[in-house]
Amino acid sequence: MAFQSEDDKKAYWRKNLNLMFTLLVVWALVSYGFGILLRPVLDAIPVGGVGLGFWFAQQGSIYVFLAIVAIYAKKMRALDREFGVDDD
Amino acid sequence: MDLQTLTYIVVGLTFALYFGIAIWARAGTTGEYYAAGRGVHPVANGMATAADWMSAASFIGMAGLIAFKGYDASIFLMGWTGGYVLLALCLAPYLRKFGKFTVPDFIGDRYYSSTARIVAVICLIVASLTYVIGQMKGIGVAFSRFMDVDYSTGLYTGMGIVFFYAVLGGMKGVTYTQIAQYCVLIFAYTVPAVFISLNLTGNPIPQLGFLSDTGDGTPLLVKLDQTLVDLGFAEYTAQKGGSFNMLMYTLSLMMGTAGLPHVIIRFFTVPKVSDARTSAGWALLFIAILYTTAPAVGSMARLNLTNTIQSGPVGSAEGNLVYAERPEWFKNWETTGLLQFEDKNGDGRIQYYDDTNPEFAAKAESFGWKGNEMIKVDRDIMVLANPEIAQLPNWVIALVAAGGLAAALSTAAGLLLAISTAISHDLLKRTFMPDIGEKQELMAARIAMAGAILVAGYLGMNPPGFAAQVVALAFGLAASSIFPVLMMGIFSTKVNNTGAVSGMLVGLVSTLVYIFTYKGWFFVAGTNMLPNTPDNWFLGIAPEAFGALGALLNFVTAFVVSNMTAPVPDDIRHMVEDIRFPKGAGEAQDH
């Protein structure tokens, strides 16, 4: 048994899911939101001759995806250590 | 030195490198053959995954796709990168903790069912085999265009190379070759992009040049829009398709990316669960370098091409390029058939405009134009001719040849590996011949690989008429059948064997039927039941975008059926709970 208690196991999983859902909301927001559905609104903000919505669709969303994966890896490492279930 | 010799030298050197790696990275055990001994550094695996992922289509085709579709091609940019977020957050770490070798391995064990395993193998083989046809074609085409050999010679050479390192080294050989191939392809992609961006905008970073001003002070994209509209084409930055379809299409590509087995198995090669998380980030970074460059290459190449032909004001007699004075690269690509010109109005000049646009027709007629004279502008030209249009030295052109071949070979090898391991491991060892020893399994894996290469080579030589359609099928199947059962296998302890099998079949069949309804049964022309146009699509969803809806049907079916049938046994519930934290993953092996 890797966890100290059943409660720990539940708490770890809940925290993991919360982090995952939060990041997936951002993931959906920058791509489906900013890049597609909200493009008409965001395009009011000019970026390099086109709108911010267009930039998110062809560039920005990809940069945010990178940040999401990096944040998840970092935060999960900390969470693993906190609960003593890391693999180091 | 002439271009031909230089190309042979550069391509020859990269091939020698791949052979060297193959001999160095021979596999001695099934662990090495299937998962490279689980000793691949996360950064190295990220690079290998990027090469595995980026095919001939990404390298040669995507910039052209963006150049001609403009904003609407954003679905590919977001879809093919956003899938890595799903992989990193929802799949890769857990599947690595599970610690087996293949995707059907997980599905078969988690749903304690041979039926589930076999259905997964079938989905895997259909998805991977359809995908590999395109790669084999890519190899043949790349050879024939760059090295002046015929298609079949090119294809056989490619098969021979993959055979050598994949049969000998399995995952281990493929991994280290893919790392080398990534370096070749990314260098070959970015060097011309940097120069073309520098030429047009003065900014050496294509991602920034894309948003910068051109020589006359107009932003690049504004200028491109204006140039295109002046010739009757649609604006580059305008949205042409429906928003809901774009959303569903993007979602399908993301789920499909996360569900493609040849990508998933790459994450079985890293030593630890935490490595699987970081490795997905590295993979995405290495992919993003190409994917964020592609829109810059696409838009700049389109502007360059259009400006070359429409060299003066639209409509003036001297505004168009005189055919006899066309640049050297134009002639070169005419001989390959990728560019074709026909002087419809007999004025000896080239008119390139959208003659299908009724609003522009009257204008064109008043100019004395008698139709678009560039009767063929293959979109692959955007990457292939780029170095020549930007007047780069010959070694850059030779490098693009090596890069295109690296992209096609690396993806083909990854797909063939996924297919052969599914046969030797999932079908033989785990289902039909559980008594075979490790040596026999390794031999079976090598024979399966050789067989897969021959089948892929045959399909590459005789591509079925539907070859162009099948990539949509591969993503649709991965999204609707494989991705949902993997998600449920990890995040639910309630979904049982019957639920998973019914879910997979419903996802698979609904997606196939939807695609066939509009594209013809098994892609046979004329057998489609509804015309493939937006007003006939269900809720405006294109056949290529149905994967996400197929996935939804899969999820719903699996939950409903699981609720009505026997609950998941305790040992399986424990197994699921056990893959949810990193500690205790299988040890790394040294090699």
From A79's Cα to the closest Cα of chain B, the distance in A is: 10
Strand segments (E) across B468-590: none
Q: Is the pLDDT of residue B332 over 60?
A: yes
Q: Rounded distance, CA A29 to CA A41, Å?
A: 14
Out of B93, B219, B277, the one facing A48 most closely (by C-beta) is B219
Q: How confident is the prediction for chain B on average, in pLDDT?
A: 87
Output phi, psi for B532, to 5 deg.
-85, 70
Q: Do A57 and B281 touch (CB under 8 A)?
A: no
Q: Rounded distance, CA B494 to CA B563, Å?
A: 8
Give the mutation candidate from B58, B89, B207, B273 for the A interface (greatest A CB count, under 10 A): B89
* Tokens 């929802």, residue located: B90
Mean pLDDT of B548-560: 95
Name the 3-class secondary structure at B399: helix
- Per the rule left: phi > 0, alpha: psi between -120 and 50, beta: everything else, B503 is alpha
Long-range contacts of B116-122 (CB under 8 A, 24+ apart): B116/B485, B116/B497, B116/B500, B116/B501, B116/B504, B117/B426, B117/B430, B117/B431, B118/B427, B118/B431, B119/B481, B119/B501, B119/B504, B119/B505, B119/B508, B120/B426, B120/B481, B120/B482, B120/B485, B120/B504, B121/B422, B121/B423, B121/B426, B121/B427
ipTM: 0.96
Q: Which of B443-447, B484-488, B551-555 has the lowest mean pLDDT?
A: B443-447
Out of B211, B278, B288, the one facing A48 most closely (by C-beta) is B211
Q: Spell out which residues of chain A touch residue B300, defining contact as CB-CB under 8 Å.
A: none
Name the 3-class secondary structure at B583: coil
Q: Rounded distance, CA B16 to CA B576, Å?
A: 45
Helix (H) / strand (E) containing B496: none
Output phi, psi for A87, to 5 deg.
-110, 25
Q: List beta partners, residue B341.
A: B374
Q: Is the pLDDT of residue B589 over 50?
A: no
Q: Is the pLDDT of residue B591 over 50?
A: no
Of the CA atoms within 13 Å of residue B176, those in its CB half-sphere come to 25
Q: Is the pLDDT of residue B304 over 70?
A: yes
> CB of A61 within 8 A of CB of A35?
yes
Share of residues in chain B with pLDDT > 90 (%): 34
Q: Spell out which residues of chain B touch residue A76, defining contact as CB-CB under 8 Å.
A: 93, 274, 277
* Cβ pairs A/B, distance under 8 A: 137
Q: Is the pLDDT of residue B513 over 80?
A: yes
From A37's Cα to the closest Cα of chain B, the distance in A is: 7
Chain A 1-60, CB below 8 Å of chain B: which residues?
Answer: 2-3, 9, 12-13, 16, 20, 23-24, 27, 31-32, 35-37, 39, 47-50, 54-55, 57-59
Q: Do B295 and A13 touch (CB under 8 A)?
A: no
Name the 3-class secondary structure at B341: strand
Q: Is the pLDDT of residue B251 over 70?
A: yes
CB of B584 within 8 Å of any CB in chain A?
A: yes
From A7's Cα to the closest Cα of chain B, the distance in A is: 13
Q: Rounded distance, CA B521 to CA B291, Å?
A: 34
pLDDT of residue B467: 53
Question: Per-residue pLDDT tens for B36-62?
Answer: 878 889 899 999 999 999 988 888 888
Euclidean distance between the first and final Cα of chain A, in Å? 17
Q: Do A80 and B250 touch (CB under 8 A)?
A: no
Q: Rounded distance, CA B335 to CA B323, Å?
A: 15
Largest distance between two CA atoms of chain A? 58
Q: List beta partners, residue B213.
A: B219
pLDDT in tens, chain A (88 residues): 578 888 999 999 999 999 999 999 999 999 999 999 999 999 999 888 889 999 999 999 999 999 999 999 999 999 999 998 888 7
From B222's Cα to the closest Cα of chain A, the distance in A is: 6
Give the mutation candidate from B85, B87, B90, B297 for the A interface (greatest A CB count, under 10 A): B85
Query: Which one, of B54, B288, B85, B53, lies nearest residue A62 by Cα?
Result: B288
Q: Rounded distance, CA B58 to CA B500, Å?
A: 33
Mean pLDDT of B180-189: 92
> CB of B581 within 8 A of CB of A85?
yes
pLDDT of residue B588: 43
Share of residues in chain B with pLDDT > 70 (%): 97
Question: Per-residue pLDDT tens for A53-67?
Answer: 999 999 999 999 999
CB of B212 within 8 Å of any CB in chain A?
A: yes
CB of B78 within 8 Å of any CB in chain A?
A: yes
Q: Rounded distance, CA B142 to CA B155, Å?
A: 9
Q: Which of B147-161, B454-468, B566-580 has the lowest mean pLDDT?
A: B454-468
CB of B490 within 8 Å of any CB in chain A?
A: no
pLDDT of residue B189: 93
Query: Which one, of B188, B192, B215, B216, lies nearest residue B204 by Cα?
Result: B192
Q: Spell out which residues of chain A touch residue B96, defining contact as CB-CB under 8 Å.
A: none
- Per the rule left: phi > 0, alpha: psi between -120 and 50, beta: everything else, A49 is left
Q: Do A37 and B220 touch (CB under 8 A)?
A: no
Output phi, psi for B213, to 5 deg.
-85, 145
Q: Is the pLDDT of residue B464 over 80?
A: no
Out of A23, A63, A73, the one facing B281 most closely (by C-beta) is A73
Mean pLDDT of B473-501: 92
From B77's Cα to the closest Cα of chain A, the distance in A is: 6
Q: Do A50 and B219 touch (CB under 8 A)?
A: yes
Q: What is the pTM of this model?
A: 0.91
Q: Do A58 and B288 touch (CB under 8 A)?
A: no
